[in-house]
Amino acid sequence: MPAPQKLPSPADVPVSGITRRITILDVARRAGLSRSATAYALRDDHNASKATRERVQRIAQELGYRPDPVLSQLMSHLHSGQPKGYAGKIAFINPDPKRDFARTRPALHAIFKDATSRARVLGYELEEFWLHEPGRCPQRLARILLARNIRGIILSGVETRGTVLDFPWEQFASVRLGYSVREPALTRVVPHHYQNTMLALQQVWAAGYRRPGLLTLRRQDDAMVRLHIAAFLAYQDTLPPESRAGLMSGDSMEPEKIRAWFDEQRPDVILTTNYPARLHFAEAGIRVPQDVALVSLLRWDEQAGMAGVRPRVERLGTVAVNLLVSKLQHDERGIPDHCITVEMEGSWTEGPSMPRPAKTTKSAAKAKSRRPLR
């Protein structure tokens, strides 16, 4: 009997002069499996054995198969029984040892609300999970998510910077928030602390202030990888010597330490990341704005009367969801080869804590004609 003729690969069969798209049915035929079994294997679903998953995925790669994101979303909708427009669920994972950490931190809570709203617009539902739920290890949480067909994760921040998390990331599309989680090196969405500090310094200089100082709480700035300090020192390098007030970064804000630093450095405006800085100044006998102008580098809506930079953290949720949905549609799972960081720039807000124009002093007048380099 003559040998059977070898059939051409589906990728070699042109349609109207154009190489047609490889479908899941092509992969199933090559693998000798049903369409449903092939779909399980391509999704890395545990309903298919590991050997079958590896073989089918290898065949798909050889054929050049790429899932159709529109069809994938449609099939997810058809099998979910949800109303039209529903695309699935996204997990918002709180990895901090404290159950309510993501809910009680104003910035993270604002991000969660924004992410929830954006997810709904795109057809997804956001659900929060606590990584340290008693009796639940990371591997078990992963199995729960997979069983519920949740393939996307937004990883919240933690209180301790440098945290390393063990989780089967290879099975999920993931985006992390902030700098506190060091590993895994997932795509990251953060406020642009460096640029926001530069924005504040440019605003105070334009207002006529000529001796800016910086006051930070060390643990707060450590959580933001000292980007405020880095920007402040870089900007100072462009100033004349008489405009270079020192910075104060301590573990606590004792009134006597603040007063001693203020008397030594004599800043005419102080930039700070510390929320209750105005109260600390009052305890130190320093009046705002009579004795010194005050600018917040993390200016929240409830800080009435405070000039500063709104970091716009409430918009980070939208950015995180947009990135995650794109990953889901392109089947980008696991830890990427190269970590991408997306930075959100803040916006300047005027306030009576920094009056305009600034009062001119002798030292200010001397430095006024010397503009810092841009």
- Using one digit for the tens of pLDDT, what is the confidence trace for 149-203? 999 999 998 887 778 898 999 999 999 999 888 889 999 999 999 999 999 999 9
Beta strand segments in 109-234, E = 124-130, 152-155, 163-164, 173-177, 181-183, 187-191, 212-217
Shared-domain flag, residues 357 and 217: yes
Long-range contacts of 355-363 (CB under 8 A, 24+ apart): 355/289, 355/293, 356/207, 356/208, 357/207, 357/208, 358/207, 358/208, 358/209, 358/268, 358/269, 358/293, 360/208, 361/210, 361/268, 363/210, 363/211, 363/242, 363/266
DSSP 266-279: --SEEEE--TTHHH
308 pLDDT exceeds 60?
A: yes
pTM above 0.85, yes or no: no
109 pLDDT exceeds 90?
A: no
Domain membership flag for residue 265: yes
Residues contacting residue 192 through CB under 8 Å, at least 6 positions apart: 343, 344, 345, 346
Domain membership flag for residue 237: yes
- Burial class of residue 271 in the structure, from the number of CB atoms within 10 Å of its CB (0-12 exposed, 13-18 middle, 19+ buried): buried
359 pLDDT exceeds 80?
A: no
Question: How many distinct structural domains can be found in the chain?
Answer: 3
| Domain coverage including residue 249 | 193-310+348-368
Range from 48-52, 75-79, 211-215, 318-322 carrying the lowest mean pLDDT = 75-79
What percentage of the chain reaches a pLDDT higher than 90?
Answer: 51
The per-residue pLDDT for 364 is 44
Domain membership flag for residue 260: yes
The per-residue pLDDT for 354 is 95
Domain membership flag for residue 168: yes
307 pLDDT exceeds 60?
A: yes
> Pairing mode, if any, of strands 124-130 and 163-164?
unpaired
Shared-domain flag, residues 216 and 263: yes
User: End of a domain among 20, 36, 66?
Assistant: 66
The per-residue pLDDT for 9 is 43
Shared-domain flag, residues 288 and 360: yes
Q: Summarize the confidence of residues 16-30 as an average pLDDT.
A: 74
Shared-domain flag, residues 111 and 208: no
Shared-domain flag, residues 243 and 174: no
Place of tokens 């500090």: 197
CB 212 within 8 A of CB 270: yes
Domain membership flag for residue 111: yes
Domain membership flag for residue 81: no
DSSP 289-333: TTT-EEEESS--TT-TT-EEEE--GGGHHHHHHHHHHHHHHTT--
Shared-domain flag, residues 169 and 122: yes
In DSSP terms, 125 is beta-bridged to 89
The Cα–Cα gap between 212 and 218 comes to: 19
The per-residue pLDDT for 75 is 52
Shared-domain flag, residues 211 and 113: no
> Pairing mode, if any, of strands 269-272 and 212-217?
parallel
Range from 3-12, 27-36, 122-131, 262-271 carrying the lowest mean pLDDT = 3-12
Q: Strand, coil or helix: what is 174?
A: strand
Confidence category of residue 47, pLDDT binned at 50, 70, 90? low
12 pLDDT exceeds 70?
A: no
- Higher pLDDT pick, 46 / 181: 181
The per-residue pLDDT for 244 is 93
Domain membership flag for residue 4: no
> Pairing mode, if any, of strands 18-19 and 14-15?
antiparallel
CATH of the domain at 174: 3.40.50.2300
Sheet with strand 247-250: strands edge to edge: 247-250, 212-217, 269-272, 293-296, 307-310, 347-349
- Higher pLDDT pick, 295 / 276: 295
Shared-domain flag, residues 197 and 217: yes
Shared-domain flag, residues 277 and 359: yes
The Cα–Cα gap between 158 and 97 comes to: 8
The per-residue pLDDT for 138 is 93
> Pairing mode, if any, of strands 124-130 and 341-344?
unpaired
CB 314 within 8 A of CB 301: no
The per-residue pLDDT for 274 is 80
Shared-domain flag, residues 219 and 356: yes
CATH of the domain at 54: 1.10.260.40
Span 253-274, pLDDT tens digits: 888 999 999 999 999 999 998 8
> Pairing mode, if any, of strands 307-310 and 293-296?
parallel
Residue (of 9, 309, 334) closest to 175 by Cα position: 334
Q: How would you label 226-236 residue by residue, b for 16+ Cβ within 10 Å and e otherwise?
A: bbbbebbeebb
Domain membership flag for residue 302: yes
Span 194-234, pLDDT tens digits: 999 999 999 999 999 999 999 988 887 787 889 999 999 99
The Cα–Cα gap between 226 and 193 comes to: 9
Shared-domain flag, residues 357 and 263: yes
Q: Summarize the confidence of residues 271-295 as an average pLDDT.
A: 89
- Higher pLDDT pick, 84 / 259: 259
The per-residue pLDDT for 339 is 87
The per-residue pLDDT for 11 is 42
The per-residue pLDDT for 20 is 64
CB 24 within 8 A of CB 34: no
Q: Summarize the confidence of residues 59-80 as an average pLDDT.
A: 66
Shared-domain flag, residues 341 and 354: no
